[in-house]
Amino acid sequence: MVKEEGRILHLKGNKKKKEKKRKIQSLVLFRSGQEKGAQRNRAKILAKRMAQTISYITGSQLLPLKRLPNIAIIDVRDDERSYDGHIAGSLHYASGTFTDKISNLIQDVKGKDTLVFHCALSQVRGPTCARRLAYHLEEMKEDTGIKNILVLERGFNGWEASGRPVCRCTDIPCKGETA
């Protein structure tokens, strides 16, 4: 006897029984192989997207570049920005409302081809918001001119601890640089 999808089949002889079992097993193996293959493909695509779109930049690399007209620095810290200071010229898009304001960000960075994201340490909020923007741009399939999305290594805390200039103005958007 062989049980198949709730039915019991009576087969004569061991040979028929073995053949039937082989067919059922191969069908199950084929299906699970397809599912595993699909999962692997999805994982490869996701890894490729992340590798292509998100890279890190050090503070020493960013310092000479930050005044170039094609670069925008995006600060995704929440309330810390108001009392800790910020990198001069950076745009503020709090991580808590970032997804809702992606369209505004795209408008604000028109003409920029490189965006550098950071939060306090650039371990969670900065990279997460950078990925959200990358996925949004990929879904839009519209040329915004943004070619590079970077994350500031060690975030704002690393920037400040290294003695790099910090602005403490309250201008929105920030235009000055004060220590």
pLDDT tens, residue by residue, 116-151: 999 999 999 999 999 999 999 988 888 899 999 999
Q: Assess whether 77 and 101 both reside in one domain.
A: yes
Examine the residue annotation and report whether 119 is marked as an active-site residue of this protein.
yes
72: pLDDT strictly greater than 60: yes
The pLDDT assigned to 179 comes to 45
- Arithmetic mean of pLDDT over the chain: 80
Q: Assess whether 88 and 128 both reside in one domain.
A: yes
Task: Please pick, among 119, 129, 167, 174, the residue that the annotation labels catalytic.
Answer: 119
Where do we find the tokens 């001069």? 88
Q: How many alpha carbons fall within 13 Å on the CB side of residue 52? A: 12
- Please give the tally of structural domains in the chain: 2
| Six-digit token string for 100 | 């809702």
- Diameter over CA atoms, the chain: 91
Q: Assess whether 82 and 6 both reside in one domain.
A: no
**Domain assignment of residue 155, yes or no:** yes
Q: Assess whether 62 and 135 both reside in one domain.
A: yes
Q: Assess whether 9 and 33 both reside in one domain.
A: yes
The pLDDT assigned to 80 comes to 80
Name residue 131's amino acid: R
**pLDDT tens per residue, range 78-109:** 988 877 899 999 999 999 999 999 999 999 99
Query: In which domain, by residue range, is 132 found?
Result: 58-161
Q: Assess whether 18 and 74 both reside in one domain.
A: no
At 16, which helix (H) or strand (E)?
Answer: helix 13-53
Q: Assess whether 126 and 152 both reside in one domain.
A: yes
Res. 28 pLDDT band, cuts 50 70 90: very low
**Domain assignment of residue 178, yes or no:** no
111: pLDDT strictly greater than 50: yes
- Please tell me whether the overall predicted TM-score, pTM, comes out greater than 0.85 for this model: no
**What distance in Å separates the CA atoms of residue 76 and residue 28, rounded to the nearest whole number?**
48
Q: Assess whether 71 and 124 both reside in one domain.
A: yes
Contacts by 90-95, CB closer than 8 A, 24 or more apart: 90/174, 91/173, 92/172, 92/173, 93/129, 95/119, 95/125, 95/128, 95/129
